[in-house]
């Protein structure tokens, strides 16, 4: 259990009987506690997804033709979080690649107005089931679409943020 006086154990609400706390702040705080209570959490298509490519020290990383496209998914969490995990999947439909992620974690205490930030990060990779031939592809992830060429310089490709 967290002993930080600014963080609350699950199921406990702060006593707010002082004149220094106005009504709107009370409503905001109780709304935050209700939305950020304890327990298991799942977020779909909210991890950061970046392209991976083979490279050597003398060249820029390249997405190669006739190889599987490999992506890395990264998720992070902070205060009062345990069991952070992320999974990633790529499905192909013609020249469109649909990427999905699922991030899971367990919140051990409700979010408080302040607490010591502890950053946790986890990563995983996923790849197409089959090698991709040279050509143009559209990568769809969350609310984003990105057109890519294979082969191409992977260093020029942005990471995708999914649904924000």
Is the model more confident about 117 or about 22? Answer: 117
pLDDT of 116 higher than 70: no
Say if residues 163 and 143 touch (Cβ distance below 8 Å): yes
- The pTM for the full model equals 0.71
Q: Which has more pLDDT, 33 or 145?
A: 145
What's the pLDDT at 59?
A: 65
What percent of the chain lies above the pLDDT cut of 90? 46
pLDDT value at residue 139:
97
Maximum separation of any 2 CA atoms in the chain, in Å: 68
- Once rounded to an integer, what is the mean pLDDT over residues 57-70? 81
Q: How many domains does the chain have?
A: 1
In a domain, 2, yes or no: no
- What are the residues facing 86 on neighbouring strands? 103
Percentage with pLDDT > 70 across the chain: 68
Distance, in Å, from the CA atom of 92 to the CA atom of 133, rounded to the nearest integer, reads 13
Residue 5 lies in a domain: no
- 3 within some domain: no
Residue 31 resides in a domain: yes
| SS3 state of residue 130 | coil
Of 133, 160, 136, the residue nearest 71 (C-alpha): 160
- Domain hosting residue 55, numbered range: 23-156
Sign of CA dihedral 32, 38, 44, 49: positive
- Give which of 8, 6, 4 is closest to 109, Cα–Cα: 8
């Amino acid at each position: 259990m967290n002993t930080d006086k600014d963080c609350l154990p699950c199921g406990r609400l702060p006593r707010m009987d002082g004149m220094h706390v106005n009504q709107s702040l009370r409503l905001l705080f109780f709304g935050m506690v209700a939305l950020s209570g304890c327990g298991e959490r799942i977020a779909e298509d909210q991890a950061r997804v970046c392209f991976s490519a083979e490279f050597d020290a003398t060249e820029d990383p390249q997405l190669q033709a006739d190889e599987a496209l490999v992506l890395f998914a990264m998720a992070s969490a902070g205060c009062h979080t345990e069991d952070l995990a992320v999974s990633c999947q790529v499905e192909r439909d013609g020249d469109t690649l649909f990427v999905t992620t699922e991030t899971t974690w367990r919140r051990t205490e409700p979010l408080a107005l302040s607490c010591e930030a502890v950053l946790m990060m986890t990563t995983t990779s996923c790849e197409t089931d089959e090698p991709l031939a040279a050509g143009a592809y559209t990568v769809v992830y969350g609310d984003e679409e990105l057109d890519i060429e294979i082969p191409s310089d992977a260093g020029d490709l942005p990471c995708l943020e999914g649904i924000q």
